[in-house]
Amino acid sequence: MFARDGRVLEGELPLSQLERLHDVLASVAGVISYRIEGFRGERGEPMLQLTVSGQVQLACQRCLEAVPFELDVDSLLEVIPEGAEMSQDELEDDTRDFLPVVRELVVADFVEDEIILSLPVAPRHERCGFPGAADAGERLNPFAALDGLKGKPN
Ligand SMILES: [Zn+2]
């Protein structure tokens, strides 16, 4: 339940459920923890603060082995009411909650988006311990393609 002020939603999500992350992960085992707090901004606008913590295993860009990465998401977002044309009075009406209408699926999407934004663009070991592992398969790695582009002179 959400408190009247400082409404808070906390929980955990299994990485296996955050499918858009899977391409960049070496392992989808484990869970991440999130905390969403609702409050009013300076102009009375509804705001959300999202924090996410937990460790993920990113796929090294060179050898595809796991690179442990500690999530540290701390995002502040203004909530734009979905669809409805609300008057300023309605928006400022404290009896209207925006968080309770956020369903679990939407929370997962929201958390997933913010995790994606927080990830390093080119995760890699400082020194890869498994030089042969690059031959291990043909896993798609979007970052590898990106890096290739950056390295080319125009
Ligand atoms: Zn590596």
Distance 128 CA to ligand 1 centre (A): 4
Distance 12 CA to ligand 1 centre (A): 28
pLDDT in tens, 90-134: 656 554 444 444 445 578 888 999 999 999 999 999 999 854 444
In this predicted structure, the answer to whether residue 11 has a pLDDT above a threshold of 60 is yes
In this predicted structure, the answer to whether residue 26 has a pLDDT above a threshold of 90 is yes
Distance 36 CA to ligand 1 centre (A): 34
Distance 59 CA to ligand 1 centre (A): 8
In this predicted structure, the answer to whether residue 85 has a pLDDT above a threshold of 80 is no
pTM of the model: 0.65
Give the C-alpha separation, 14 to 19, whole Å.
10
Distance 26 CA to ligand 1 centre (A): 11
**Residue 88: band (very low, low, confident or very high) from pLDDT cuts 50, 70, 90:** low
**Summary mean pLDDT of the chain:** 76
Distance 150 CA to ligand 1 centre (A): 19
Burial of 113 (0-12, 13-18, 19+ CB in 10 A): middle
Lowest mean pLDDT among 9-13, 34-38, 90-94: 90-94
Give the C-alpha separation, 67 to 77, whole Å.
29
Give the C-alpha separation, 38 to 101, whole Å.
13
